[in-house]
Amino acid sequence: MRTVGVEEELLLVDPDSGDPKALATAVLARAARDDPGQDVFEKELFGQMLEFATHPQADMADLGDELVRCRKEAARHAGRIGCAVAALATSPLPVSPSLTVNERYQWLAERYGVGTRDQLVCGCHVHVSVDSDEEGVAVLDRMRPWLPVLTAVSGNSPFWQGHDTGYHSYRSRVWGRWPSAGPTELFGSPERYHRRVADMMATGVILDEGMAYFDARLSARYPTVEVRVSDVCLCADTALLVATLTRGLVETAARDWRAGRPAPDHSVSLLRLASWQAARFGIDGDLLDPATMRPRPAERVLRALLDLVGDALDDSGDADRAERGVEELLRRGNGAREQRRLLERTGTLRDVVTACVRRTQA
């Protein structure tokens, strides 16, 4: 059974006003004081962000329990210094990001200028174990057309600097401003993958291997593929659905590779359009069908994804969980739909943030 780990980035906010607060250092100090030896929480690029990482789990129920537990622990540590955590992929309210004091982050700020300051965005990264770099690259090549669907499912960033962007995942559009971000060509082999990364580093435009911000990549630290296209999800059950579908995609791609089935050869140009479409409309309009790259209703694309990974989900015992998760998602909507619904009901973005603080731990 392939193991799965999830990294989530949370926004630190004032519990009353909803304004982002640059208190990550204080929250981490409190976490170290309350739970000596904890290895869950980390700093991120800006002081208004807090990251946690689950442990690798083979059972998705255990992963779901850990996601909820980590969110509640983050809320507990933040609450003890007078702030709160919100699973929001962008801040609905205006914010001036505070760069974390760190040599690497300082390099980014100097290298990319004002573009770095735009990157106060919170994502969800899913790690799925693979047996080798050869299997990992084969998986990356075969997953490419389906990654925008995960962006649509997770979309949770409709607001930016006090305004409605019209997007479901505006975070993904901001993240795409990094020069190394986005979909990739087919690699074909581990040698070509590592050569591509080495060539990128040799340009001097990126600092190191960790800045190969592909939509999905081989992890530099773990024997995993790391899928990086998702917003942090407002609800933990949506994050668990993303992780479940991701493992299904990895296992299905690996089986296709072992069976000698070739990777779909869609161009990067078309994959970029699919990513944009998913970011713009989420699950409330058409997506580009991963097989044909033509518009198709999002509900039908989601059901096609369930069909594609059905055997893998059956074998891991996740089929019922994934089907229920998709049905609930279609009924309730993703985080972007929920944030807009909250704004209609409350009338202010401040109330949206404070409501999302509560949803984060639900």
Q: Tell me whether residue 361 is in a domain.
A: no
How far CA 63 is from CA of 8, 52, 101, 237, 258, in Å, comes to: 13, 13, 32, 10, 28
Helix (H/G/I), strand (E/B), else coil: 214 = strand
Q: Tell me whether residue 61 is in a domain.
A: yes
Helix (H/G/I), strand (E/B), else coil: 39 = coil
Q: Tell me whether residue 235 is in a domain.
A: yes
What is the per-residue pLDDT across 252-300, written as a single tens digit (0 to 9) for each? Answer: 999 999 999 999 999 999 999 999 999 999 999 999 999 999 999 999 9
Tokens of 217: 């990549």
Q: Tell me whether residue 354 is in a domain.
A: no
CA distance 199 to 12: 37
What's residue 25's pLDDT? 96
Per-residue pLDDT at 36 exceeds 90: no
Q: Which amino acid is at 222?
A: Y
Per-residue pLDDT at 362 exceeds 90: no
Q: Which residues pair with 86 in a beta bridge?
A: 11
Angle at 126 between CA 117 and CA 218, to 5 degrees: 85
Averaged pLDDT for residues 222-240: 97
What is the per-residue pLDDT across 185-207, written as a single tens digit (0 to 9) for each? Answer: 999 999 999 999 999 999 999 99
pLDDT above 70 as % of the chain: 100
CA distance 120 to 49: 8
At 361, the pLDDT band (50, 70, 90 cuts) reads confident
Q: Tell me whether residue 198 is in a domain.
A: yes
Contact call for residues 243 and 60 (beta carbons, < 8 A):
yes
What's residue 124's pLDDT? 98
Closest Cα to residue 281, out of 152, 176, 175, 174? 152
Give the ranges where 259-309 is alpha helix by DSSP (H): 268-281, 298-308
Q: Give the number of domains in the chain.
A: 1
* H/E element, 9: strand 4-13
First to last CA, the chain: 29
CA distance 233 to 115: 24
What's residue 41's pLDDT? 94
Which residues have a Cβ under 8 Å from the Cβ of 51 and sit 6 or more positions away? 7, 8, 9, 10, 41, 42, 43, 44
What's residue 183's pLDDT? 98
Least confident of 38-42, 52-56, 75-79: 38-42
CA distance 28 to 50: 8
What's residue 315's pLDDT? 98
Tokens of 33: 């004081």
Per-residue pLDDT at 22 exceeds 80: yes
Tokens of 46: 């800006």
What's residue 297's pLDDT? 98
What is the per-residue pLDDT across 303-334, written as a single tens digit (0 to 9) for each? Answer: 999 999 999 999 999 999 999 999 999 999 99
What is the per-residue pLDDT across 162-175, written as a single tens digit (0 to 9) for each? Answer: 999 999 999 999 99
What's residue 66's pLDDT? 97
What's residue 37's pLDDT? 76
At 28, the pLDDT band (50, 70, 90 cuts) reads very high
CA distance 137 to 132: 9
Per-residue pLDDT at 342 exceeds 90: yes
pLDDT, averaged across the chain: 97
The torsion angles phi and psi of 152, rounded to 5 degrees, stand at -65, -45
Domain with 227 in it: 4-349
Instruction: Count the alpha carbons within 13 Å of 66 in the hemisphere toward its beta carbon.
Output: 19
Contact call for residues 231 and 122 (beta carbons, < 8 A):
yes
Q: Tell me whether residue 362 is in a domain.
A: no
Averaged pLDDT for residues 84-106: 96
Which residues have a Cβ under 8 Å from the Cβ of 274 and sit 6 or more positions away? 145, 148, 287, 288, 290, 293
Conformation bin of residue 287: beta by default, left when phi > 0, alpha when psi is -120 to 50? beta
Q: Tell me whether residue 356 is in a domain.
A: no
Q: Tell me whether residue 338 is in a domain.
A: yes
Give 300-308 contacts, CB < 8 A, sequence gap 24+: 301/149, 302/149, 302/153, 302/326, 302/329, 302/330, 305/146, 305/149, 305/245, 305/249, 308/146, 308/248, 308/249, 308/252
CATH classification at residue 27: 3.30.590.20
CA distance 84 to 276: 31
Give 199-207 contacts, CB < 8 A, sequence gap 24+: 205/179, 205/180, 206/179, 206/180, 207/104, 207/107, 207/108, 207/111
pTM value is 0.97
CA distance 286 to 13: 34
pLDDT above 90 as % of the chain: 97
Averaged pLDDT for residues 11-20: 96
